[in-house]
Structure 1
């Protein structure tokens, strides 16, 4: 019997080791173990990054992990990795908590810091950026457009805990042939440049989807990009098929996009520019997000152009089956724009805006809308402004169109909400939480960490995402599990990357808090003990 079990165990161990291999990558200029093209991918003879990303499926395949070790990887890289086994991924990840930076500020004909062409690959735990000096102005002779992450082809990829920032071009381009992809826990900021005419160019994320598979964007922080935050969009005016569809956008914080160019732009737009009425933005769910543009809410500041959420763009392509639920939408005069929408659900949202902007075309479709349980904070009671028609107060809006029956209106000076907007644990980072706070008077906020069941005595570090290279506060979790977060940040060093971009005022902040986990016995030792006991039973 034991002999039989020995054969089974050996076979299982062989299958596991054969089916899931680990490979290692180091920068080319590493002092001890530089990565090379001729490496074997072992810890002592590692690959360079481009060599690792070019491996064929007979070397790196389903279930394998490529570990990136600490350092700066100078270059512009293309990944053609692909997993051939359904629902099983190749993983390209930073090793443990080491700091890995892909730096695209190099001489190259490639226009992307990282281009992804493969399928079923997970990329996580590293930065994509341009370091050092580079021009942000298209008028400069040395100016060059560089995209951070170009996801050009390949379905079912995942992008987890990536920091994509300070690229003189698009932060993320994830295009129509890349359906089923997931963006989770990414920070996308300060991407873009100034065009020759002075406008801000390049979004945090520009995305399309031709697939029936749903694309998910969740738990991300997207801010201070030179143009819009997220565009679920196509500018093609003569489309012949649909490719802006099937999205879930949930629990993200998207704020102050357009700020570096001194023109606030849409934090999120869902639309299409198609004149043929074929490529219609449809089947999009927007749930529990926080959209924000700088506003002195305590004093009722509302003037100026600062759209936070826009639905629809072209009359010939009104959006269909778009659901907006549980969001906070804060901006200036036109924070919420519903321009062209055929079928729209809008429920349980809280809006701070000068007014709600609508185009006359919505009157053709408004009987297909489902609005309820919203709270509108605007500067005038006649807050629903239909271009080409008239302004409606909530009562007339309800009676004329039969929608929003359970919604309420209040003046902007009455705007308020719970100070702790959201505390979300990062799924793929140990004991790390995203904390979104709003306190219109700019007072410090007490956050309760008892619900995550964290243990007393854990040490912690707090970072402001707008200045994430500096530890804002440290401490130890007390018996009551409550931590005070500072909202008055004006005394801190200005964190933004250019002199015109303004930091958020003290009424709003996004923070990351990391707790230090303590284990008496490493996980690997526990696993080893199981095997040791088993082999002891076998007589070894």
Structure 2
């Protein structure tokens, strides 16, 4: 009996290994093992990137991994990979800790560095950018005639984009379009994308997001999005005469979005907008959840600054398409004038938010379909609730007239402050890495306690400022206090840098890799024997 079971186990192990194939990709100019079209995807005879991304399901399918080895991949690429196995994914990832860069700064007619027409594919752990010198302003008579997107996900469902760095693309950072239901975008860093039109107007969002699926939710979670030339995240459609709806069932959760529009020197703009420009009342932004996000624009809190338009969140755009079933819960919303704008909303929940703004712009509040509660509003003038151009209300009259915000509070901006530690999020896709978001309105350094994260004493760590990611800001060793001091005085007069009162950092611990490997092996064998029924 034991021999029979062992024989079955070995046979099944062989099947599992065969079912989980690994393929290898190298840059075409690699000095030792260049990737080629004629390769077979082996380590000795690897593919080039475009060949790998063009494989049919009979070659690469669910459970398979395509490893991208270190180097710069020059070109504009198109993925048509598709997993035909339900609930199983193809993975396209940098190999181990290799630095992989897709560089779109090449001569090409393609409108994006990475075009995706794929289903059930995970793209993770690499960069999408433009390297070298290039202009950011369109010149119809010069070399730069059109904007180029970082990633365009045009079709295919249930893809995942994880731990990508999308930056310095002269156009939109990431287009997540209507025919791509079920997409997850998580732990990405998206910044400095966009450019200027010939007339000097800024263009190029961090994300442009749509979804036409009634059953699949688009999720953006744990991302860092900043300093894009135009808006941070547009949940949006510009179509004016739609006959179907495709801006629905979208969740934005635990993202940090700041200083949208800053590098354009044109104007600061929305960190998030949720709306459509439909005039038929058909394509209405609906079933949108915005929860646990941190939205920030450069603001001098010591001077009680509110001057200048700096929207952080806008809901609704055209009166013919008021948003429906939008939930805005437990966010920090910091801007100056118009930090929070509710232009046209049919049904809306606004709860547990902290808002710093010059005033709150609302159009035709509807107490029957709006639920506002447990918010804290910081404004300079007491009459900060503006019902369009009709009338302004102080907080007590706002509550009385519209039966909203019964348990909310209004405070003068002189009293504004936040906890120094706004957020610590462990990267579930990268063990031992944390996103740390800090605030100190005086710009003082912040001490952060990591005792609840069970970090081993004497673990080495590095800290990077996301706005200067290539440089290690600080390195050290975890001591017995489990506390680390983060420097906040990082803006030395730089126009495109966050002020010293706000900072976003990546903290990485280096732990005992032997223990990690042991745990991984134990997990594999545990799952394997569970599979056998033991």
Change (3 A) 1:465 1:206: same
Return 5+ residue gaps in structure 1 as ranges: 495-500, 535-540
1:110 Cα deviation (Å)? 1.1
Pick from 160, 169, 172 the counterpart of residue 171 of structure 2: 169
Return 5+ residue gaps in structure 2 as ranges: 529-534
- SS of residue in 2 equivalent to 1:15: helix
1:537 match: none
Verify: 1:214 aligned to 2:208, yes or no.
no
2:532 match: none
Q: Is the 8 A contact 1:200 1:260 kept in 2?
A: no
Pick from 502, 512, 515 the counterpart of residue 508 of structure 1: 502
2:479 match: 478
Verify: 1:42 aligned to 2:42, yes or no.
yes
1:439 match: 440
Pick from 287, 305, 310 the counterpart of residue 283 of structure 1: 287
- SS of residue in 1 equivalent to 2:155: coil
2:277 match: 273
CA displacement, residues 288-330 of structure 1 (integer Å, 9 cap, x when unaligned): 1000111101210110011000000011110000000000000
Verify: 1:133 aligned to 2:133, yes or no.
yes
Give the Cα separation in 1 of the matches to 2:427 and 2:520. 25
1:199 Cα deviation (Å)? 1.0
Give the Cα separation in 1 of the matches to 2:337 and 2:463. 34
CA displacement, residues 494-525 of structure 1 (integer Å, 9 cap, x when unaligned): 5xxxxxx5211100000000100213356279
Alignment coverage as a number of residue pairs: 522
List aligned pairs for 1:238-387, cutoff 5 A.
238-262=241-265, 263-359=267-363, 362-363=364-365, 365-387=366-388
Q: Is the 8 A contact 2:367 2:403 kept in 1?
A: no
1:29 match: 29
Q: Is the 8 A contact 1:367 1:401 kept in 2?
A: no
Q: Is the 8 A contact 1:300 1:413 kept in 2?
A: yes
CA displacement, residues 409-467 of structure 1 (integer Å, 9 cap, x when unaligned): 11111111100000000110120000000110111000011111111110000000001
List aligned pairs for 1:516-535, cutoff 5 A.
516-520=510-514, 523=517, 527=521
Change (3 A) 1:232 1:526: closer
- SS of residue in 2 equivalent to 1:298: helix
Give the Cα separation in 2 of the matches to 1:422 and 1:375. 18
Q: Is the 8 A contact 2:74 2:104 kept in 1?
A: yes
CA displacement, residues 4-41 of structure 1 (integer Å, 9 cap, x when unaligned): 12320222112201211111111111111111111111
Give the Cα separation in 2 of the matches to 1:335 and 1:218. 22
Give the Cα separation in 2 of the matches to 1:525 and 1:435. 27
Q: Is the 8 A contact 2:227 2:496 kept in 1?
A: no
Give the Cα separation in 2 of the matches to 1:504 and 1:231. 22
- SS of residue in 1 equivalent to 2:250: strand
Structure 1 moving runs of 4+ over 4 Å: 528-531
Verify: 1:235 aligned to 2:238, yes or no.
yes
1:538 match: none
- SS of residue in 1 equivalent to 2:8: helix
Give the Cα separation in 2 of the matches to 1:525 and 1:251. 29
Change (3 A) 1:525 1:449: closer
Change (3 A) 1:47 1:334: same
- SS of residue in 2 equivalent to 1:16: helix
RMSD of aligned Cα (Å): 1.7
1:367 Cα deviation (Å)? 2.2
- TM-score, normalising length: structure 1: 0.94
Q: Is the 8 A contact 1:114 1:150 kept in 2?
A: yes
Q: Is the 8 A contact 1:342 1:366 kept in 2?
A: no
Moved more, 3-12 or 410-419: 3-12
Change (3 A) 1:70 1:388: same
1:225 match: 228
2:4 match: 4
- TM-score, normalising length: structure 2: 0.95
1:497 match: none
Q: Is the 8 A contact 2:171 2:204 kept in 1?
A: yes
Q: Is the 8 A contact 2:54 2:81 kept in 1?
A: yes
- SS of residue in 1 equivalent to 2:303: coil
Give the Cα separation in 1 of the matches to 2:524 and 2:74. 43
Give the Cα separation in 1 of the matches to 2:130 and 2:520. 42
1:44 Cα deviation (Å)? 1.1
